[in-house]
Amino acid sequence: MEAFWVEILKSLVSGLLMGLVFALVALGLTVIFGVMDIVNFAHGEFLMIGMYTTLVTAPLLGVDPLITLPICGLVGAVLGVISYYGLVKYLLRGPVIAQLFGTFGLMVFLRNLALLFMGSEPRILHKGVLVGKSFVVGPGLVLESTKLAAAVLSLASFYVVWWLINRTRLGKALTATSLDRQGARYMGISTELMNALAWAIGGASVAIAGGVLVNFWPVDPNVGLLFTMIAFATVALGGFGSIRGALFAGIIIGFIVQIPPVWDAALGLLGLGGGDAISLHPFKYTFVYLIYFIIMIVRPQGLFGWKQ
Amino acid sequence: MMRKFALVLTVLAALGLLVSGAAFAGAPKEIKIGVIYPLTGGAAAAGRVLRNGAELAAWIANNKIQGVDMDMAKKAGIQSLGGAKIKLIFKDHQGNPQLGADLAKKLIKDDKVVGILGCYFSSVTKTVSAVCERYGVPMINGSSTSPALTTRGFKWFWRTTPHDKWFTKDLFELLVGLTQGKVRGVKAVPRQEINTIVSACEKTEWGSHVSSLIKDFAKEYKFNLAKSILYSAKSPDLSSEVQSMLAAKPGAMLFASYTSDAILMIKTLKSMKAKPKLIWGQDAGFDKPEFRQLGADIEGVLIRSVFLPSVAKVKKVAGQVNALYKKRYGVDLDGASARAFTGLQAWVHVLEKAGSTDPKAIQKAANAIDIPGDQLVVPWAGIKFAKVGNETGQNIKGMGLIGQYQMKNGKLTLQIVYPFDLATADMIYPFKGF
């Protein structure tokens, strides 16, 4: 019986840590959507570029991967701004469908760019202060240092973005633009600049998420897809444009992905475990998409409504 | 009169060209063989070594090579076809069965290959061989081990490698041997220490068959299979799978993984500080240079293998070819490259026996071929394909090995621990844990 509760605890902790990572990935998406109503299909690719940035610069500069995070942030911000001024600005003139296809095209472009420069094989960091290290807490609960750092960083990022949005003039300007673009413009707030800023923040936060993720998650040119899908589900669940929503929804999704081990533990408790037991592991992410589907039908505005 | 003479001359010239053209067309200078491997994607590491093995074999067949005691090294090209050289046309299936089938069609219709070699992934071999069967084009498979591939009654498919039923049985023989003190360097292990086993296999054609074989043998040998998991080889996160497996407190953990997932499994086990008594991997991902980069972390991991460099101790040609391979590519032959080499070698022998590129002649030759073991780098008794029974096309003279990674003088080596009488070192037991 005790083993069962230990397993539940392990799943809860894993779920929380991973959930905070999912939340951080979704943060950028929700900020961009909040300010300009545009869905960025290339969001996962920004993550992938953040991952490659750390993978490449850490050994190049001979520093610990964690130190390259500011570089990731910079690369992400620059990429976001270039994407805005180079593509999105023009997409905004067209119908919504053009915007969707436009960012989709950006996704394909970035993916193949990565394939060209980095090759198709999955790669993972082998060296680093935190890489491969973990410590044991309590009754056999193993905490991986990299996941812990990722979770802490996620919380820190949320706080920084929240502070930026709610406690600075720039943040207020951003909020104004997202609530009423025309009105904000009349007040002298440049929509162009706010849009670019949204893309910069969005790009930077997800690239930093990538920089931390690559400590324990392999990167290849196609890794973005999984995270884009999860980010969409997270943002839909939390509410498009809601930062608070992204945080809570991310954590919930982190828990959902931990259903299979909980199921296995429950089966074990009932004595139904064993070689022939039905395993839910192949369906880990199916549950995430199922939630996305259900939310779309039951409460389309998500947990925390539309923009906040 | 002149016009008639000119007409006759023209006709004669045309006939002459026709006749000489036919003479040239009779003996092909080049024999094209299509080779379909995963050259990109998560198993690109395997694709690379497979390609290397096949290319080395083609080079040896096409040239007169000193110092290799193989028939195909003695002369240049296929003798029964006028010294024609083998030309390999490589295609990348990226692990996608549908793409593999399309590439096979292209090779057959556009490149007009004489036959096909491939495809490593059993799931791709399945679809590619179906294409070959439909078009009546011979295919030799060197490294796919799903048993189902030779139970389809195909007439144009031959497999040189022994399959997973052989290999999985080897594993259980080793487990039982451990409890009986038959393993070199290990005192008899009490049964309850390794009685609980768990398995995690990738979920395509290959892994899912290994998984069910493990279930069957576990029942037959009376082991307790506490958890049997199928996962996606492309999955970037295996922590929930590993958590479930460790919850069962297994004595032995068994895996069927390709390259990137094998690496991820070990890293995840390490991060969760797993301490099973025994870890065994069904070759594939566990037998690659990229996997070996994990270094000391994988000391003690057992892998089923078809080739280890130490086989050179019992087979001279293995050492000779390995030396050539190492000189060219910088690493030793492994299970994949050795079998790709052997697959192409089988093609050479079949073509030599057929004396023609006609598919029917090749089919007849393949069904009759009997290559002696001393021609092969792999530790098999030979290559002879079953003609009757429910496994037509399967080589009945193959054999498996089980190796263990051990650190010797600071370097990672692979030692044979099974069959017991071929052991090259004491087995490390139990696994030292992370």
Q: Does A2 touch chain B (CB under 8 A)?
A: no
User: pLDDT-based confidence at B24, cuts 50/70/90?
Assistant: very low
Residues B274-279 have a mean pLDDT of 92
Report whether A203 contacts A64 (CB < 8 A). Answer: no
Count residue pairs from A and B with Cβ separation < 8 A. 99
Report whether B424 contacts B313 (CB < 8 A). Answer: yes
Point out the residue among A217, A264, A276 whose CB comes nearest to the CB of B237.
Answer: A217
pLDDT of amino acid B14: 59
Distance CA(B192)–CA(B176), nearest Å, equals 12
% of chain B with per-residue pLDDT over 70: 95
Report whether B294 contacts B301 (CB < 8 A). Answer: no
- In the predicted model, is pLDDT for residue B380 greater than 50? yes
HSE value, Cβ hemisphere, 13 Å, CA-based, for A10? 27
pLDDT of amino acid A31: 87
Residue type, B148: A
Strands (E), B93-160: 115-118, 139-141, 157-159
User: pLDDT-based confidence at B200, cuts 50/70/90?
Assistant: very high
3-state secondary structure of B18: helix
pLDDT of amino acid A308: 44
Q: Which residues of B touch A281 (CB under 8 A)?
A: 229-231, 240-241, 244
- Looking at domain B165-305+400-422, its CATH superfamily turns out to be Response regulator (3.40.50.2300)
% of chain A with per-residue pLDDT over 70: 95
Distance CA(B42)–CA(B397), nearest Å, equals 32
Instruction: Flag if A274 and B236 touch (Cβ within 8 Å).
Output: no
pLDDT of amino acid A124: 77
Q: Which DSSP state fits B193?
A: H
pLDDT of amino acid B21: 46
Give the CA distances from residue B40 to residues A242, B45, B47, B94, B95, in Å, rounded to whole numbers and listed in that order.
Answer: 40, 8, 7, 5, 8
Chain A interface, best mutation among B196, B216, B239, by max A CB count within 10 A: B239
Point out the residue among A119, A120, A260 whose CB comes nearest to the CB of B240.
Answer: A260
For domain A2-135+143-298, the CATH class is mainly alpha
- In the predicted model, is pLDDT for residue A306 greater than 70? no
Point out the residue among A134, A220, A276 whose CB comes nearest to the CB of B273.
Answer: A134
Place of tokens 């074990």: A268
Distance of CA B212 to the CA centre of its chain: 21
pLDDT of amino acid B329: 94
Degrees to nearest 5, angle at CA B319 with B314 and B320: 130
Question: DSSP string spanning B275-333?
Answer: --SEEEE-SGGGGSHHHHTTGGGGTT-EEEES--GGGGGT-HHHHHHHHHHHHHHSS--
- In the predicted model, is pLDDT for residue B23 greater than 70? no
pLDDT of amino acid A249: 93
Instruction: Flag if B271 and A144 touch (Cβ within 8 Å).
Output: yes
In B, minimum Cα distance to A254 occurs at B240
Chain B interface, best mutation among A257, A281, A284, by max B CB count within 10 A: A281
Q: Which residues of A touch B231 (CB under 8 A)?
A: 281-282
Degrees to nearest 5, angle at CA B203 with B202 and B204: 105
Residues B118-134 have a mean pLDDT of 95
Distance CA(A223)–CA(A50), nearest Å, equals 12
- In the predicted model, is pLDDT for residue B312 greater than 80? yes
pLDDT of amino acid A77: 95
| B314-330: pLDDT as tens digits | 788 999 999 999 999 99
| A153-192: pLDDT as tens digits | 889 988 988 898 889 988 888 888 888 888 888 888 888 8
Which residues are bridge partners to A19 per DSSP?
none
Give the CA distances from residue B392 to residues B114, B168, B275, B339, B366, in Å, rounded to whole numbers and listed in that order.
Answer: 21, 21, 43, 20, 11
Question: Which residues neighbour B82 within 8 Å (Cβ) at sequence distance 6 or greater?
Answer: B27, B28
Give the gap in angstroms from C-alpha B263 to the nearest C-alpha of chain A.
Answer: 10
User: pLDDT-based confidence at A260, cuts 50/70/90?
Assistant: confident
Architecture of domain B32-162+313-383: 3-Layer(aba) Sandwich (3.40)
Instruction: Flag if A276 and B260 touch (Cβ within 8 Å).
Output: no
- In the predicted model, is pLDDT for residue B399 greater than 80? yes
Residues B405-425 have a mean pLDDT of 88
**What is the end-to-end Cα distance of chain B in Å, rounded?**
98
Return the closest-CA partner of residue B288 out of B322, B336, B236.
B336
- Those of residues 195-234 in A touching chain B at CB distance below 8 A are 216-218, 220, 223, 226
pLDDT of amino acid A114: 92
Chain B interface, best mutation among A267, A279, A285, by max B CB count within 10 A: A279
- In the predicted model, is pLDDT for residue A127 greater than 80? no
- In the predicted model, is pLDDT for residue A275 greater than 80? no
Q: Which residues of B touch A217 (CB under 8 A)?
A: 236-237
pLDDT of amino acid A125: 77
| A16-48: pLDDT as tens digits | 988 998 999 899 898 888 877 888 899 999 999
B32-162+313-383 shares its CATH topology with B165-305+400-422? yes
Instruction: Flag if B244 and A260 touch (Cβ within 8 Å).
Output: yes
pLDDT of amino acid B125: 96
User: pLDDT-based confidence at B10, cuts 50/70/90?
Assistant: low
| A234-256: pLDDT as tens digits | 998 998 888 889 999 999 999 99
Point out the residue among B40, B230, B241 whose CB comes nearest to the CB of A120.
Answer: B40
Give the gap in angstroms from C-alpha B23 to the nearest C-alpha of chain A.
Answer: 47
Instruction: Flag if A273 and B226 touch (Cβ within 8 Å).
Output: yes
For residue B49, count other CB atoms closer than 10 A to its CB.
24
Distance CA(B32)–CA(B30), nearest Å, equals 6
- In the predicted model, is pLDDT for residue B80 greater than 80? yes
Q: Does A279 touch chain B (CB under 8 A)?
A: yes
Distance CA(A301)–CA(B14), nearest Å, equals 81
Report whether A246 contacts A28 (CB < 8 A). Answer: no
Which residues are bridge partners to B305 per DSSP?
B401
Instruction: Flag if A281 and B228 touch (Cβ within 8 Å).
Output: no
Distance CA(A178)–CA(A36), nearest Å, equals 6
Q: Which residues of B touch A226 (CB under 8 A)?
A: 236
User: pLDDT-based confidence at A149, cuts 50/70/90?
Assistant: confident
Give the CA distances from residue A279 to residues A264, A282, B196, B230, B240, in Å, rounded to whole numbers and listed in that order.
Answer: 7, 7, 18, 8, 11
Residues B95-100 have a mean pLDDT of 95
Q: Which residues of A touch B44 (CB under 8 A)?
A: 119-121
Instruction: Flag if B247 and A261 touch (Cβ within 8 Å).
Output: yes
- In the predicted model, is pLDDT for residue B239 greater than 50? yes
- In the predicted model, is pLDDT for residue A194 greater than 70? yes
Give the gap in angstroms from C-alpha B344 to the nearest C-alpha of chain A.
Answer: 26
Return the closest-CA partner of residue A55 out of A74, A72, A38, A31.
A72
- In the predicted model, is pLDDT for residue B184 greater than 60? yes
Return the closest-CA partner of residue B199 out of B186, B187, B210, B189.
B210
Q: Which residues of B touch A216 (CB under 8 A)?
A: 267, 271
3-state per-residue secondary structure call for chain A: CHHHHHHHHHHHHHHHHHHHHHHHHHHHHHHHHHHHCCCCCCHHHHHHHHHHHHHHHHHHHCCCHHHHHHHHHHHHHHHHHHHHHHHHHHHCCCCHHHHHHHHHHHHHHHHHHHHHHHCCCCECCCCCCCCCCEEEECCCEEEEHHHHHHHHHHHHHHHHHHHHHHHCHHHHHHHHHHHCHHHHHHCCCCHHHHHHHHHHHHHHHHHHHHHHHCCCCCECCCHHHHHHHHHHHHHHHHCCCCHHHHHHHHHHHHHHCCHHHHHHHHHHHCCCCCCCCCCCHHHHHHHHHHHHHHHHHHCCCCCCCCCC
Map out the domains of chain B as residue ranges.
32-162+313-383, 165-305+400-422
pLDDT of amino acid B22: 44
In A, minimum Cα distance to B219 occurs at A275
pLDDT of amino acid A50: 94
Q: Does A149 touch chain B (CB under 8 A)?
A: no
Residues listed for chain A: 308
Map out the domains of chain A as residue ranges.
2-135+143-298
Structure tokens at A49: 């570029």
Chain B interface residues (partner A, CB cutoff 8 A): 40-42, 44-45, 199, 203, 215, 218, 225-232, 236-237, 239-241, 243-244, 247-248, 260, 263-264, 267, 270-273, 293
Point out the residue among B40, B226, B237 whose CB comes nearest to the CB of A275.
Answer: B226
Structure tokens at B3: 């016009």
Q: Which residues of A touch B236 (CB under 8 A)?
A: 122, 217-218, 223, 226
Q: Which residues of A touch B289 (CB under 8 A)?
A: none
For residue A187, count other CB atoms closer than 10 A to its CB.
11
Place of tokens 């840590």: A17
Point out the residue among B199, B236, B263 whose CB comes nearest to the CB of A217.
Answer: B236
Helix (H) or strand (E) holding B91: strand B85-92
pLDDT of amino acid A182: 84
Give the CA distances from residue B190 to residues A72, B179, B181, B225, B433, in Å, rounded to whole numbers and listed in that order.
Answer: 53, 6, 10, 17, 19
Q: Which residues of B touch A134 (CB under 8 A)?
A: 271-273
ipTM metric: 0.75
| A48-104: pLDDT as tens digits | 999 999 999 988 888 888 888 899 999 999 999 999 999 998 988 888 888 889 999
Instruction: Flag if B267 and A132 touch (Cβ within 8 Å).
Output: yes
Distance of CA B41 to the CA centre of its chain: 18
Instruction: Flag if A132 and B271 touch (Cβ within 8 Å).
Output: yes
Chain A interface, best mutation among B39, B229, B243, B288, by max A CB count within 10 A: B243
Distance CA(B216)–CA(A31), nearest Å, equals 53
- In the predicted model, is pLDDT for residue B302 greater than 80? yes
**pLDDT, greater one: A68 or B343:** B343
Distance CA(B29)–CA(B23), nearest Å, equals 12
pLDDT of amino acid B289: 78
Q: Hey, CA dihedral for A118, A119, A120, A124, is it positive or negative?
A: negative
Distance CA(A122)–CA(A219), nearest Å, equals 5
Place of tokens 């790669």: A123
Place of tokens 């972390």: B297
- In the predicted model, is pLDDT for residue B267 greater than 80? yes
- Give the pairing of strands B302-305 and B401-408: antiparallel
pLDDT of amino acid B13: 62
Question: Which residues neighbour A226 within 8 Å (Cβ) at sequence distance 6 or greater?
Answer: A44, A285, B236
Q: Which residues of B touch A136 (CB under 8 A)?
A: 273
| B29-54: pLDDT as tens digits | 899 999 999 998 878 888 999 999 99
Structure tokens at A12: 């809860």
Instruction: Flag if A142 and B272 touch (Cβ within 8 Å).
Output: yes
Distance CA(A209)–CA(A191), nearest Å, equals 27
